[in-house]
A and B are shown apart, each in its own frame.
Chain A
Amino acid sequence: MKIFLSRILLFTSSLFISWGVLWTLALNFQSIETYFIAERSEHGAVRMKTAELMALSKSDTLDFLFLGSSTCYRGVDPHYLHPLAGFSVCSSSQILGNSSYILDVVLEYTTTHYLVIDVYPKLWSDPGLVNKEAARDWVVNSSTPKRGPILEMVLATGEPYYMAVAGYFWLADLMGVDYPPCAYNPKDKYMGLGFVASEVEPIESLVCDDVDVVMSDETCEVLQGIIAKASLNGAHTILLNPPQLCEESFPTPDCFSDVLYIDGNDWPGAKTPAHYYDDHHLVDLGAASYSAWLSEELKEITTASAAFND
């Protein structure tokens, strides 16, 4: 038995050596990194939007900062907020648990007057408080250093492999290894300020099923934590339910009370199929129309707020 256990110990050490060899090879050859560690991708443009974020300074206080999932980065174009300043750090499958960590990342570079959180109801039923894919997306593709909140987000997934990936990308950062992304969607066009235009054909019609969603108490607590964090940093929170062709019904969660709320389904074009490429993602033209409407709503809030303060 002793011999067996010593062989196991030796084998375990050899595992780390072989993984060290793999990492060394991956740091030198992108194809090895892609196939054996993780694929750098441009889906959601996290690399470009975080590079843009890093160029901001704390003195450039934003008027609106957007957090959320793909409904947000494909639907909300902050350029429409002009002359106010907006920026979106929305990314694929980013649920509230991820947003909490991503807000910490953003606050290292800038501040905001208003935090707009995209609360797409379908994502409330995501298992776990932190979406694994969104965490992987940030650790692999973010241009920001892989430390602090990003690593905490990966740890919160509880996924050993992602933790190892985070370790690899931390090392890659340290060694200045920065490969270009090798996966991208040719129909996605990054327009700046975190917005990605989807240049795809819209759908013609869609049959909707009734979907009921309930926000769990844990998710509600996460949302309350984000609101508190924003408040501590001098920002008001606005909750934004993105427009959907097929709306989910949900009882208003407790954590929605006393928070400004905009329902994207009030946008006049919300039920026009030609604005969507599926039941909740807007095509570029739909996004333009929606963003114009949303920016008016948001500007109204700032005007009302300014009037109130006066």
Chain B
Amino acid sequence: MYWMLGRSKHQLRLQNTLLVMSSYVFYGWWDWRFLGLIAFSTFVDFFAGRAIEKAISKSRAKLFLAISLATNLGLLAYFKYANFFIESWIEAWAGVGVEMHASSLNVILPVGISFYTFQTLSYSIDIYRGKLKPTRDPIAFAAFVSFFPQLVAGPIERASKLLPQIERSRTFDKDLAISGLRLMLWGMFKKVVVADTCARLADKIFDAPELYSGPTLMLGVFYFAFQIYGDFSGYSDIAIGTGRLFGIRLSTNFKFPYFSRDIAEFWRRWHISLSTWFRDYLYIPLGGSRGSQWQVIRNVAVIFIVSGFWHGANWTFVIWGAIHAALFVPLILLKRNRKYASDVVAEGKILPSIRDVWSMGSTFALVCLAWVFFRADTVSGALNYIVGFTELPTPEKPIIHVVYTAFVWIGIMVFVDWLQRDGSIPKWWLKRKFQPLRWFAYGMCVWLCFKNLHSESSFIYFQF
């Protein structure tokens, strides 16, 4: 339907209208009441963007930017953080012996609010900074804010990248569409087969950690590490692949983060659209890596803690961010944070060196340690979980039965990621003589997704 509209005289407008309509139907399917919220955010930022450009003075431009920021951040603060602040306030007073009574608000968190809010914020800020011209086409802008493949869990797109694509006429590109389908299938495999299998195992351990000894608890974090990677990068792959079917190229969100050799490299490869957003709109305005050592430490701490808080209104996420900040700061102080900025592990080789294996393994272990806070419901729960690592297996707390199928699926995912770690599918795999093998592998992939799909499970990042 979308590409058939492409033959008409008003191709672009019709295609964009269809995109907006389908995005609103998609979002309204979850809860139609929040369509007003996304429409309101779109309305405010569209006019704020134009007002910033037309502003006769810097102070007026700043005022319109402030309106945009206040609206977006206000909505985010109310829907995502209201209860957290009320409860923290009560707890803080309780800590000094003052008992306060306030009922928490019955606020439903609108799906994807953290994602589309950041996307629209970048639009207003970029216009204010003079890096972007505001669009005059409200339909194109609405399509940019609500583009359904990435609406609820990213990648968080910049207006400078996505908007021009939406404003430009698009023609069907067979190769782009095929690569999109391939990516969607791979994303489905990562989510439905790997992440959901790991989720069942991780949930079992995290739901009752007191029943297990150290090795099992470590296994639980290992499963969770692959659950969250398969879940989130799988969603991103599906979103990017779907975008390609519409002729739109979305940003890469993951670049094989578990092959990182230090935390700095991990953050260049994990949730890239969020980390670059924080870098451009928070870290650099704060001064970035310039200034005194103390300022650099402060800036790093701020972006990681804010990033943690962005994930959810819970101290566990804040501590998760703080742990990453603590791991990142030494690298930046020793000026080693860009050591692996331009290369990929074992570039041009089949296997990594022992040194690479050690670096990847230790980075993965540190990331896993932080994942405990990300996954646990409370800070004390996370601490108890980590303390449990030291407990040796006993007859009452034996090592849990290892589920080999989970390791097989994780192994397949890691192997395929390893083959593509330079960012592209190996050329031999796409050769014509491998077509039967390739299509058989895709057939198996579809079957396994089909097999695992019967158990319903949402994407982790939908809650953020």
Contact = CB atoms under 8 A, between A and B. Distances in A.
B294 interface: no
A25 B444 CA distance: 13
Given A7-B178, A18-B440, A161-B453, A1 B3 contact: yes
Interface in B325-367: none
B178 A18 contact: no
What are the 3 tightest A-B residue pairs by CB atom distance, in nearest-first order? A18-B443, A14-B439, A4-B174
A35 B405 contact: yes
Contact of B174 (A3, A22, A159, A160): A3
Given A3-B174, A4-B178, A14 B443 contact: yes
Nearest to A136: B454
21 contacts: A1-B3, A1-B172, A1-B174, A3-B174, A4-B172, A4-B174, A11-B439, A14-B440, A14-B443, A15-B439, A15-B442, A15-B443, A17-B443, A18-B444, A22-B444, A22-B447, A35-B405, A160-B450, A161-B451, A161-B454, A164-B450
Contacts of A1: 3, 172, 174
A21 interface: yes
Contacts of A159: 454
A162 B440 contact: no
Interface in B440-463: 440, 442-444, 446-448, 450-451, 453-454
Interface string A149-185: 0000000000111101000000000000000000000
B462 to A, nearest CB: 20
B286 interface: no
Contacts of B443: 14-15, 17-19, 22
Interface in B133-178: 172, 174, 177-178
A159 B450 CA distance: 10
Interface string A13-44: 01101110110000000000001110000000
Interface residues of A, number: 21
Nearest to A127: B456
Contacts of B451: 36-37, 161
Interface string B405-417: 1000000000000
Interface residues of B, number: 18
Contacts of A11: 439, 442
A172 B453 CA distance: 23
A281 interface: no
Nearest to A34: B405
Q: Which of B177, B448, B450, B454 has the most CB of A within 10 A?
A: B454
Nearest to A157: B454
B183 to A, nearest CB: 15
A132 interface: yes
Given A15-B439, A161-B450, 11 more contacts: A1-B3, A3-B174, A4-B174, A4-B178, A7-B178, A11-B439, A18-B442, A19-B447, A36-B444, A161-B453, A161-B454
Contacts of B174: 1, 3-4, 7
Nearest to A13: B439
Contact of B454 (A22, A35, A162): A162
Q: Which of B174, B177, B447, B453 has the most CB of A within 10 A?
A: B447
Nearest to A20: B443
Contact of B446 (A3, A7, A15): A15
A7 B172 CA distance: 15
A187 to B, nearest CB: 16
B312 to A, nearest CB: 28
Nearest to A162: B454
Interface string B198-228: 0000000000000000000000000000000
Contacts of B454: 132, 159, 161-162
Nearest to B404: A35
A7 B444 CA distance: 18
Interface string A216-252: 0000000000000000000000000000000000000
A36 B447 contact: yes
